Amino acid sequence: MGRSTAFAVLTTAVLLLTGCAAAPSPDTPPSTSAAPPPPTGPLTLREALGDPATVDFCDLLDFSEIEKTSPPLSEPTLSMGACSFQTRIAGSAALFSFGFPDARAKERLAAATPVTEPSLPRGLRVVRSDLQGQPLLHLIFTDDSSLRIGTFFENREAAGPEVLAVAAKILDGVARSLATGKQARHLEYRDGSLARLDACSALLSGTEVSARLGVTVSGKGDLSGHQCLWGDQGAPRLVRMEFGLGPHPKAAGGVQEERLGGRRSFVQEVSGGCTVLTSHIGGPDPERNQVEHAILAVQAPDACRVARELAAIAWPKLPV
């Protein structure tokens, strides 16, 4: 998925052309070197993932195990900083989203409930929080950073416990894989990619957002730099900027195409808020036929007016 495979391909081609495997000659003594011991010690997110801005989070999920109990209904969706897939559990549609590297876990998750079983190696631990009745599980590393798996499902009474059990099993598998030294795969984004920008500073400032919201807010981003929130989650006035990957956008029912900030944009009013999306360049994996996009989401009185004004400020600053 967007990674360099030139050396591996060349090696495979040589073996195929010679028609033999790379076996030692009869005169070569067998190797007596032992396999390196598994890594030990406290595990930080940086050690586990490297640069969180370019991680392929779908690659961290063991879909061969997931398919045994909750097979995805379609190809998993890769985005910047996350991987999502849909399935059915107890007859109910369920969505799982994994990734979202973030810092300040102690501060953000002070009220979360510890999940003590099963215990994890290398100082890793899991806590649970809830967002609008949907459970979130957070894998916390020893450097106070975290990943999370979020769930969304329709039938909470029938599917809730099973969905949570599936999420816990997925996160446990990720934790143990990283603890034993699995290396995260990284995506190779193109020049001018949004993945190289900081969503909190590249396109909008706190001053510009505050002036249009009518309240003073400051931006808080995650470790990937792909999203920023001005205001507090759940507040009546807030703005979110997010960089991601997705299909080519188009106008549809409830989605209005406009030209904002010199760019083709798609405006949608949603439950008291408003979103504005514009597409950018192609994604890192040509086979997925995705494009990068920037999304502004606004919660405020007259939200679409605010969103349009902010898009007119932000979009001209996008890389060309």
- 98 with 142, same domain: the answer is yes
Question: In the listed set 179, 203, 231, which residue is the last one of a domain according to the structure?
Answer: 179
Q: How many domains would you assign to the chain?
A: 2
Q: Is residue 22 part of a domain?
A: no
User: Looking at residue 204, which CATH number applies to its domain?
Assistant: 3.40.1000
CB-CB contact of 249 with 275 (8 Å): no
pLDDT value, residue 120: 96
SS3 (DSSP) at 184:
coil
Q: What are the two backbone dihedrals, phi and then psi, of residue 177, each rounded to the nearest 5 degrees?
A: -65, -45
Overall average pLDDT of the 111-130 stretch: 94
- 78 with 111, same domain: the answer is yes
Q: Is residue 142 part of a domain?
A: yes
Q: What is the percent of the chain with per-residue pLDDT over 70, rounded to a whole number?
A: 88
- 50 with 175, same domain: the answer is yes
Q: What gap in Å lies between CA 92 and CA 134, rounded to an integer? A: 14
Helical residues (DSSP H) of 50-123, grouped into ranges:
63-69, 105-108
What's the whole-model pTM score? 0.83
Lowest mean pLDDT among 16-30, 167-181, 234-248, 264-278: 16-30
pLDDT value, residue 10: 23
- 157 with 203, same domain: the answer is no
Sequential DSSP letters for 77-98: EEETTEEEEEEEETTEEEEEEE
CB atoms inside a 10 Å sphere around CB 241 = 25
- 94 with 207, same domain: the answer is no
Q: What are the pLDDT digits (tens) for 90-108? A: 888 899 999 999 999 999 9
Mean pLDDT score of the chain, rounded to an integer? Answer: 87
Which of the two residues, 109 and 286, has the higher pLDDT score? 109
Overall average pLDDT of the 56-61 stretch: 96
pLDDT value, residue 116: 87
Parallel/antiparallel/unpaired status of strands 291-299 and 238-246: antiparallel
- Predicted confidence (pLDDT) at residue 318 exceeds the cutoff of 80: yes
Strand arrangement, sheet containing 77-79:
77-79, 82-89, 92-102, 146-153, 134-140, 125-131, 113-115
Q: What are the pLDDT digits (tens) for 149-195? A: 999 887 666 567 888 999 999 999 999 999 999 999 999 999 999 99
DSSP 8-state assignment for residue 52: T
Parent domain of 150: 45-179
pLDDT value, residue 31: 53
**pLDDT band of 27, cuts 50, 70, 90:** low
Q: Is residue 259 part of a domain?
A: yes
